[in-house]
Chain A
Amino acid sequence: METTAIKEVDKVVIKFAGDSGDGMQLTGTQFTGTSALLGNDIATFPDYPAEIRAPQGTVAGVSGFQVHIGQAHIHTPGDNPDVLVAMNAAALKANLRDVAKGKTIIIDTDNFKRKDWEKAGFEEDPLESGVLREYHVIEAPMTSLTKTALEGLGLDNKSIVRSKNMFALGMVYWMFSRPLEYTERFLKGKFGKKPEILAGNIKALKAGFNYADTIEAFSSASAVLPADMEPGLYKNVMGNEATAWGFLAAAEKSGKDLFLGSYPITPATDILQELAKHRHFGAKVFQAEDEIAGITSAIGAAFAGDLAITTTSGPGLALKGEALGLAVMTELPLVVVDVQRGGPSTGLPTKTEQSDLMQALYGRNGESPVVVVAAKSPADCFSMAYRAAKIALEHMTPVVLLTDGYVANGSQPWKILKTEDLEEIKPHEADKSMQNWQPYERDTATLARYWAYPGQAGYEHRIGGLEKEDVTGNVSYTPENHEKMTYVREEKVQRIANYIPELEVDGAQEGDLLVVSWGGTYGSLLTSINQCARDNKKVGLAHFNYIKPLPKNTAEVFNKFKKILVAELNQGQLVRYLRGELPQFTYQQFNKTQGLPFRVVELTHAINKTLEEK
Chain B
Amino acid sequence: MSVETLEYTAKDFSSDQEVKWCPGCGDYAILKAVQKAMPLIGRKREDIVFVSGIGCSSRFPYYMDTFGFHSIHGRAPAIATGVKLANTNLSVWQITGDGDALAIGGNHFIHLIRRNVSINVLLFNNRIYGLTKGQFSPTTNLGQTTKSSPQGTIDNPFNPGELVLGANGHFFARATDTNAKGLTEILVEAEKHQGTSIVEILQNCVIFNKDIFSDYTAKDVKLDNQIHVEHGKPMIFGAESTKGLVLNGFKLEVVTIGENGVTEGDILIHDAHEEDNTLHMMLAKLQMPVVTGIIRSYGDDSFEIRMKRQVEEVEKNSPFKSVNDLLQSGETWEIK
- Residues of chain A whose beta carbon lies under 8 Å from any beta carbon of chain B: 33, 36-37, 39, 182, 226, 229-236, 245, 248-249, 252, 257, 259, 261, 278-282, 284, 286, 288-290, 292-293, 296-306, 308, 322-323, 326, 330, 416-420, 453-466, 474-475
Contact = CB atoms under 8 A, between A and B. Distances in A.
Given A252-B323, A296-B75, A461 B68 contact: yes
B90 to A, nearest CB: 5
A257 B86 contact: yes
A465 B70 contact: yes
B72 A323 contact: yes
Majority-rule SS of A interface residues: mixed
Contact of B46 (A232, A257, A454): A454
B86 A306 contact: yes
A457 B45 CA distance: 8
A216 B83 CA distance: 67
Q: Which 5 A-B pairs have the closest CB atoms?
A: A300-B82, A464-B70, A462-B68, A304-B86, A297-B82
A300 B80 contact: yes
A62 B191 CA distance: 55
Interface of B: 1, 15, 17, 44-49, 51-52, 54, 61-62, 64-72, 75, 77-87, 89-90, 107-108, 111, 307, 310-311, 314-315, 318, 320, 322-324, 326-328, 330-336
A475 B336 CA distance: 61
A245 B67 contact: no
B135 to A, nearest CB: 20
B113 to A, nearest CB: 11
B332 to A, nearest CB: 5
Given A279-B311, A464-B61, A300 B79 contact: yes
Contact of A280 (B64, B70, B314): B314
Select the residue from A299, A303, A456, A475 with max chain B CB neighbours within 10 A.
A303
A108 B140 CA distance: 67
B161 to A, nearest CB: 21
B79 A297 contact: yes
Contacts of A300: 51, 69, 78-84, 86
Contact of A299 (B79, B84, B310): B79
A39 B333 contact: yes
Nearest to A306: B86
Contacts, number: 206
Contact of B334 (A233, A245, A306): A233
Contacts of B320: 278, 280-281
Given A280-B314, A286-B82, A464-B61, A455 B89 contact: yes
6 contacts: A36-B333, A182-B331, A280-B314, A293-B111, A301-B85, A305-B86
Contacts of B48: 454
A279 B310 contact: yes
A300 to B, nearest CB: 3
Nearest to B79: A300
B175 to A, nearest CB: 24
A284 B335 contact: no
A304 B326 contact: no
Contacts of A474: 17
B16 to A, nearest CB: 9
A170 to B, nearest CB: 19
B90 A37 contact: no
Contacts of A298: 82
A37 B81 contact: no
Nearest to A297: B82
B157 to A, nearest CB: 23
Of A182, A289, A458, most buried by chain B (CB within 10 Å of CB) is A289
Given A280-B314, A281-B323, A261 B82 contact: yes
Interface centre among B1, B47, B69 (most CB of A within 10 A): B69
Nearest to A305: B86
A541 to B, nearest CB: 26
A134 to B, nearest CB: 38
Nearest to A415: B335
Contacts of A248: 323, 326
Nearest to A33: B331
B311 A231 contact: no
